[in-house]
Structure 1
Amino acid sequence: MSRLLVIVTACVLLTACASPATITQKDLAAQAAVADAAEPPERPFPGDSLYPLLVAEFALRRRDYDVALDNYLTQSRILRDAGVSAHTTHLTQFMQREPEALGAAELWVELDPDNVEANGTLASLLVRQGRTVEALPHLALAERGGAQANFPTLLNGFNQLNEQQRAKLVGGINELAAEFPDNTPLLLTQALIHTEYNQYDLALDKLDKLFDLEPYQPQAILLEAKILLTVDAKKPFARLQQALQENPQDKRLRLQYGRLLTASDMAAAQQQFEILSMQSPRDGDLLLSLALINREVGDDLAAKAYLNQLLALEQRMDEAHFYLGSIAEDAGNPQEAVSQYMQVQDSREFLAANNRLGRILIAAGQLQRSRTWFNQQREENPGRRETLYGLEADLLVQARAQDAAVQVLNQALAEMPASTSLLYARSLLREQQGDLVRMEKDLRAIIASDPNNTTAINALGYTLANRTERYTEAMALISQALALDPDEPAILDSMGWVLYRTGRYEEA
């Protein structure tokens, strides 16, 4: 069940992901930046700065953003003008240059410390850097200045803070909550903190206060439902259901509700996703979610219908082919499964599809067809060449076709002789075949190119200790690996074994 929840969550969240900026959006942003730059300064600029600023402005008009930014960054430090620093900050954010954006925002706040936008911008950048304790006072200033600060973002990376940092952050949030007792984002933040510490009663108290101010605040509703689920309350979704009755078109809330239900009630989750699909019949993410839910509850016929809808809409096609192949495989139709898996392109499902396809063909004795297919995939997807060689060899090993696996790895290493992963795979196979000479040759080739490769060093040391009487060499190799990675269990196990083999039982 939890695996499906992860899959469904990943599918439906894609609709909320921001897409890369288009050229049109860049044009608009650049025009806004030029407009900002054209505002008359409060004081005259030195003559030496006018030309670089003009160059920057014309570079913006030509969409030569790198040149524009380089000039603005330089001049913002020279001029120390709040307007130029503000403009520089906007441009760095537009270009998604976060290190430069952080520096520009820090200078902007230094020059104009009471500016609400400057403090809010710096706070958000600090939060993304995990510097939430530093962000708090800037977010507080923004709130005092009339902006609606997003206080829950301060809890990003909360678990990575040490106890002192956590205490300082929580104390600052509580002080602000006393200053702004009716601030719903602060109440939500306090509830989240209490939840983090498993203080569920205190969290629910904060949420009750929040609901008095904003009865259907969506994040608070979801948090309450999660807490009530955790404490095994009888009706954990009562408020959430009431909110959807009041606003049945709230797709985001219904989506979250459906995701929560996948952990405990697939039939109810299915109902919610069906409502969402009726509201947005061409939403491929929802169709895929419905397909996976129906697959989980055993209704493969409905799952296939939704997956075929995806193909008709030409959305999420790789996932659709992969899951149609999986359904066909479970139904005992390997020919249809292979056909579906072969249509999966280079995507997240690509390797999984080729894994299943290879298993089917090899199990059916169609080794040559499998070999031809993998050769074709390597030609069409050169970036996957090394991985596909490893996958094909592994499938053959699992099918006890060691000789064929060796042939695949020999071909692979003829093309990529420096591949440590392929060398290591062949060395393991050689060891299984009892060819210790060639096994040692492959491992030593890895060590020669990567002297600190503890996996290869340990593998060679262990094999020498286990399969030969070259204990002195084995001890030296394992000791070398242990010095590089003293806490690795596999290396510690090897050391114990070589000590045992040499009669040093107490040390072992």
Structure 2
Amino acid sequence: MTYSTLSAYINLFLPIWRQSKRALLLAAFLCSSLPAQANIFDPLLRVLIPSYQSDNSSNQATDNSDDDGTDGDTIEEDGTDADSIENSDNKQINTKSTDTNAGTEQVTTTDAESLAPATETETETETETDSLIYDRQPISSQGLEYNTKKKQPINHQRHASSFVTPVNTAKEPSLYALLDAEFAIDRGEIERGIQIYKQQAFRQDATPVFERALALSLSFDDTQSSLQFATDWQQLHPDHVPAWFYVAHLALKAHDYELAGETLNRILRYDPRADLSEILIGIYPIKEQDQRDLLATLQPLDSAHNASLSVLKAGLLLKFNEPKAALLHVDQALKLQANNVPVITLKADILRKLVSPDEVLAYIEQARLRLPNRKGLYLYEIRYRLENEQSRSAWQLLLEAHKRFKYDAEIALLAALVSLDIEEYQQANQLLNTLASNPQYLDQAYYYLGISAERQHRFNTAKDYFNAVMQEDLVLSARKKVVAFELIDNNVDAAIATLRKLRKQFEVFAPDSYIMQADILRQQGSVEKALELLTRASQRYPDNEALLFARAQLLDNQDDFIVKRTLLKHLLSLDPEDLTYQLSYAELLLTNDPNSEQGLALTGAIIDIPYDDPRYNREHHLDALNLLASSALTNKQYAKVIDYLRTPYQVLPTLRSGVLLLRAYQGLGNEQEVAILLEDLQHRFAFGQQNIDDSIQLY
């Protein structure tokens, strides 16, 4: 339905409407009879007619954000959703007044001019122009000066005159303008539709329009713009309590903690027990400084009668390692909500910092016995026992929880996994077979039944279970195990057939299947075939880094130096911080030149990563040490090799590290250490068992 078509219908029914019809009846007629897109008027009609329900409303939840334009950030003071706010605050726009002198119904109008020519009599009776007629002038000439494009800075010393507000707020919202806005939004002209809604929100009795405008702003504008709009509107309607909640939430989300503190303080003065939980959803800052600013904002607020505020304070204090102060606030919250499971578990988290594990368990167990039907308390105690290596007691508690919550799949699965860990395979199988009757958990049940069979060395049974897994996040791991079983039986063709079937069923795993197939070919000594396979796969998936890296790994460091260097440099350009790429490139450089400055710098940088750094990886660290040791060995710096690898070999022994150490001791002529290390290598890795006498010479 086009703008001109709508205008034609408006003009067609305008004379009738001027005599006796209400604007809302006209809107209802237009929305029901014109060939417009289905349900595009639903949000508007909900704004104008609180009792309105769309044709498909019976099939949709009342809090569907696609219908009313709201989202999860819309907050109400009592914790209800946006629909309940709208229903509680909506006022149907009154467009009719009675002319007592004339004795007939007349429509109250507020606009400066009419779309249809008026007689002299009509001009006398219609002293106010029609509020439902939206002048066909540019928006900027409507006398509504709220600017949605220019984002103005938030001024904490707010007063009404400092805001960009409509010139005339005496008019009621224009139905024609709101229809125009909905059409604009439906056509994809989102910015224009929001601008119209924001302008209309500043008219008289426009609370429902404000709700719709803010919902649209939350969906399409940035947080700062939504905050500016909500703050401007709230300043003109200082007694509208839900607007306080909107402003508080948006201020917290925008990290405007001064405004947030002022608004929260106002809410708490109005109602010390106000439910702030909805305000606090989604506002927890990521940056530490923002977290500190938030805590500084909340600390002066009186939370003695507000559990949600006390909990937030306690959580922030715990974050900053102030458990004693956090405990005071969480105890305050528990006085108000003694049976609130998240608050109980928060106190347990705080107690971990203050008392022994046994005391924490005593507290959480007491709470569980007091509230025996709260699953969260069972799960907390079970996980805490597992963390403290009390697997048996955790298992017993899991079985007890399974009896109490017989049909709870989460508890059944956790009980099965713990049963596997403590080798109670019969109990694990029983639980998993029960879980398999739930379609949602069928694949997980098959996967862990396969694990159970594998640990009991029933490989054929395990293979059947793993082949039955079809859940995308488990299927790759399951098929890898099937391939491993086939290779144990030296059934290479079956292993490759499994991989081909995998990429046929799940194309997303095709690159992984090609890499595994190439590795099988490499193990069979068919390096050329493996390279050819990966080359074809790379042509099919040119942007897949894993394929490119696997191909580079198959290339020889010396014979294929130029090609391998090109591939690795390309991968490093894609992800310069990838330590695996860095190690491979360093190995390539050091293999061709043991004194390569770039190779030594790359390995040295990896070794210098501290263990508490998120980038630290123990295997990468050891690989880098091996590279440095290999370079030193080439330069006959035997003492350096020993210095690099002696301690790491004791902590995490590997064959490569052991062989490098062995050759270093041999170079120094330390026969005693050679004998000790050789015996250890033979015991750990069956090193040189076929030719012990020549083992030193071979390596």
Separation (CA, whole Å) in 2 of partners of 1:359 and 1:133: 61
2:295 to 170, 175, 190: 170
User: What residue in structure 2 maps to residue 269 of structure 1?
Assistant: 394
Does structure 1 residue 305 correspond to structure 2 residue 430?
Answer: yes
User: What residue in structure 2 maps to residue 149 of structure 1?
Assistant: 276
Mark the runs of 5 or more structure 1 residues left unpaired by the alignment.
1-20
Residue deviations 1:449-495 (CA, integer Å, cap 9, x gap): 98566479967864664344699xx778999999xxx999999x799
Amino acid in structure 2 at the alignment position of 1:252? G
Residue deviations 1:72-92 (CA, integer Å, cap 9, x gap): 413134445263332123356
Q: Is the 8 A contact 1:173 1:190 kept in 2?
A: yes
Deviation at 1:332, TM superposition (A): 0.6
Q: Is the 8 A contact 1:341 1:354 kept in 2?
A: yes
Residue deviations 1:212-233 (CA, integer Å, cap 9, x gap): 4443332332122223344315
Residue deviations 1:358-414 (CA, integer Å, cap 9, x gap): 222222211111111111111221122123323444566578775664454244235
The number of residue pairs the alignment matches comes to 465
Separation (CA, whole Å) in 2 of partners of 1:50 and 1:212: 50
Does structure 1 residue 110 correspond to structure 2 residue 232?
Answer: yes
Separation (CA, whole Å) in 2 of partners of 1:270 and 1:175: 45
Pair 1:476–1:282, CA change in 2 (3 A): closer
Which of structures 1 and 2 has the larger relative contact order (alpha carbons within 8 angstroms, sep 6+)? 1
Moved more, 449-458 or 132-141: 449-458
User: What residue in structure 1 maps to residue 135 of structure 2?
Assistant: 47
User: What residue in structure 2 maps to residue 444 of structure 1?
Assistant: 566
**What does 1:135-146 correspond to in 2, within 5 Å?**
135-146=260-271
Deviation at 1:330, TM superposition (A): 0.9
Does structure 1 residue 321 correspond to structure 2 residue 321?
Answer: no
User: What residue in structure 2 maps to residue 218 of structure 1?
Assistant: 341
Deviation at 1:52, TM superposition (A): 4.9
1:255 to 373, 379, 382: 379
Moved more, 397-406 or 207-216: 397-406
Moved more, 241-250 or 326-335: 241-250
Q: Is the 8 A contact 1:457 1:481 kept in 2?
A: no
Deviation at 1:341, TM superposition (A): 1.3
2:310 to 171, 178, 187: 187
**What does 1:376-395 correspond to in 2, within 5 Å?**
376-394=501-519
**What does 1:300-449 correspond to in 2, within 5 Å?**
300-394=425-519, 402=527, 405-406=530-531, 408-417=533-542, 419-431=544-556, 436-437=559-560, 440-444=562-566, 447=569
User: What residue in structure 2 maps to residue 75 of structure 1?
Assistant: 196
Deviation at 1:422, TM superposition (A): 1.6
Separation (CA, whole Å) in 1 of partners of 2:186 and 2:331: 49
Deviation at 1:122, TM superposition (A): 4.6
Moved more, 70-79 or 419-428: 70-79
Moved more, 450-459 or 99-108: 450-459
Moved more, 342-351 or 184-193: 184-193
Pair 1:139–1:401, CA change in 2 (3 A): farther
Pair 1:199–1:394, CA change in 2 (3 A): farther
Pair 1:461–1:237, CA change in 2 (3 A): closer
Pair 1:225–1:24, CA change in 2 (3 A): same
Separation (CA, whole Å) in 2 of partners of 1:247 and 1:88: 44
Greater Rg, structure 1 or structure 2?
2
- Cα RMSD of the aligned pairs, angstroms, is 4.7
1:342 partner SS: helix
Pair 1:139–1:351, CA change in 2 (3 A): farther
Moved more, 148-157 or 264-273: 148-157
| Structure 1 runs (4+) greater than 6 angstroms displaced | 33-38, 129-134, 398-401, 474-482, 486-491, 493-503
2:360 partner SS: coil
Q: Percent identity?
A: 18
Moved more, 314-323 or 126-135: 126-135
User: What residue in structure 2 maps to residue 202 of structure 1?
Assistant: 325
Separation (CA, whole Å) in 2 of partners of 1:458 and 1:215: 54
Q: TM-score, normalised by structure 2?
A: 0.55
Pair 1:469–1:185, CA change in 2 (3 A): closer
Pair 1:193–1:392, CA change in 2 (3 A): same
Deviation at 1:173, TM superposition (A): 1.5
1:337 partner SS: helix
Pair 1:364–1:55, CA change in 2 (3 A): farther
Q: TM-score, normalised by structure 1?
A: 0.73
Q: Is the 8 A contact 1:462 1:498 kept in 2?
A: no
Separation (CA, whole Å) in 1 of partners of 2:216 and 2:400: 42
Does structure 1 residue 228 correspond to structure 2 residue 351?
Answer: yes
Deviation at 1:274, TM superposition (A): 3.7
Separation (CA, whole Å) in 2 of partners of 1:127 and 1:396: 58
As a proportion of its length, which structure holds more helix?
Answer: 1
Separation (CA, whole Å) in 2 of partners of 1:346 and 1:22: 33
Pair 1:29–1:461, CA change in 2 (3 A): closer
Does structure 1 residue 25 correspond to structure 2 residue 61?
Answer: yes
Q: Is the 8 A contact 1:424 1:442 kept in 2?
A: no
Q: Is the 8 A contact 1:262 1:269 kept in 2?
A: yes
1:203 partner SS: helix
Q: Is the 8 A contact 2:227 2:251 kept in 1?
A: no
Pair 1:279–1:119, CA change in 2 (3 A): farther
Moved more, 114-123 or 327-336: 114-123
Q: Is the 8 A contact 2:248 2:279 kept in 1?
A: no
Amino acid in structure 2 at the alignment position of 1:257? E
Q: Is the 8 A contact 1:396 1:405 kept in 2?
A: yes
Pair 1:148–1:398, CA change in 2 (3 A): farther
Residue deviations 1:131-183 (CA, integer Å, cap 9, x gap): 77764444444444433113994896566222xx4543323222103xx4332
Pair 1:302–1:466, CA change in 2 (3 A): same
Separation (CA, whole Å) in 2 of partners of 1:201 and 1:27: 41
User: What residue in structure 2 maps to residue 161 of structure 1?
Assistant: 288
Pair 1:457–1:372, CA change in 2 (3 A): closer
Q: Is the 8 A contact 2:425 2:452 kept in 1?
A: yes
Amino acid in structure 1 at the alignment position of 2:196? Q
2:299 partner SS: helix
Separation (CA, whole Å) in 2 of partners of 1:138 and 1:91: 23
